[in-house]
């Protein structure tokens, strides 16, 4: 069994190598990549399909690397190993994982026993495993009624990229009315007020405030914004190739 460890911190990499040696005696070939780009190359060249992936790396983050690996080898099993329980990471993984692939998400603060179980469950047994602590952290940050839906999150990301309502409607295939309704819902769930603290003399930009709140609660993070920026550039390139498009009217698009 070939195993690839993608980790840019040498101490964490050494810890992972020891953990894999204990948890996966069937691993006869364990390789190390120091960033996501190198991880993509090794997975491609060596045909590795059992991978432990750090999420936050200076050169090529784990989400982007996993996207490339899964696009080329959809059956790859990837256990994400991170310091962070960000909602943005979980949403990013959910968007790119193929139906036929197993994956997991475990925190670096997890016990050796939890890591051992996650390694075997994901890489050997092909299960989907998300550390219970990650769910606990998220539940502390937001009650179920405050959780963002997929369409609300899409509007939030486009808003964070600076798109006006008409462009968001065009990109998401929504009506302007639907976009505006999603914005109202976002403001409520993120706790955005036009006059924070009830002070009428202080008026804020609600769109900017919503993005700031989303970053503070880790609903979005630097990696998710970088990925969204690249996706926006691809969308703009496709739109330029197709020619002018009409923005959906107030009652058109999704309801």
Tell me the pLDDT tens digit for each residue of 169-179.
999 999 999 99
The β-bridge partners of 3 are 30, 50
pLDDT band of residue 199 (cuts 50, 70, 90) is low
Domains of the chain (ranges, CATH numbers): 2-141 (3.40.50.2300), 144-242 (1.10.10.10)
Distance of CA 183 to CAs 87, 148, 149, 194, Å?
19, 11, 12, 13
- Weakest-pLDDT range from 47-56, 169-178, 185-194: 185-194
Confidence label for 150 from pLDDT (cuts 50, 70 and 90): confident
What integer best gives the mean pLDDT of the chain?
86
The answer to which of 87-91, 93-97, 206-210, 231-235 has the lowest mean pLDDT is 87-91
* DSSP count for the chain of H helices, then E strands: 11, 6
Assess whether pLDDT exceeds 90 at residue 122: yes
- Asked if pLDDT for residue 230 goes beyond 90, the answer is no
pLDDT of residue 255: 46
Q: What is the mean pLDDT of residues 220-246?
A: 85
- What is the predicted pLDDT for the residue at 227? 85
């Amino acid at each position: 069994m070939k195993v690839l460890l993608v980790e840019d911190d040498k101490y964490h990499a050494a810890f992972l190598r020891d953990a894999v040696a204990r948890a996966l005696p069937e691993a006869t070939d364990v390789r190390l990549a120091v960033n996501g780009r190198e991880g993509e190359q090794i997975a491609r060249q060596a045909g590795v399909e059992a991978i432990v992936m750090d999420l936050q790396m200076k050169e090529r983050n784990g989400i982007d690397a996993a996207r490339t690996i899964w696009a080329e080898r959809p059956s790859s099993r990837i256990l994400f190993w991170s310091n962070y329980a960000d909602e943005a990471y979980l949403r990013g993984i959910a968007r790119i994982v193929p139906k036929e692939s197993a994956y997991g998400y475990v925190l670096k603060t997890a016990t050796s026993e939890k890591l051992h179980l996650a390694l075997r469950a994901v890489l050997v047994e092909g299960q989907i495993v998300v550390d219970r602590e990650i769910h606990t952290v998220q539940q502390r940050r937001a009650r179920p009624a405050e959780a963002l839906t997929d369409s609300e999150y899409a509007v939030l990301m486009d808003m964070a990229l600076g798109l006006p309502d008409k462009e968001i409607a065009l990109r998401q295939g929504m009506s302007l009315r639907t976009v505006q309704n999603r914005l109202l819902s976002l403001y409520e769930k993120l706790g955005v007020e036009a006059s924070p603290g009830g002070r009428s003399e202080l008026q804020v930009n609600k769109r900017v405030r919503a993005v700031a709140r989303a970053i503070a609660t880790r609903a979005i993070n630097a990696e998710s914004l970088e990925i969204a920026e690249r996706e926006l550039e691809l969308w703009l390139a496709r739109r330029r190739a197709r020619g002018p498009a009409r923005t959906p009217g107030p009652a058109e698009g999704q309801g």
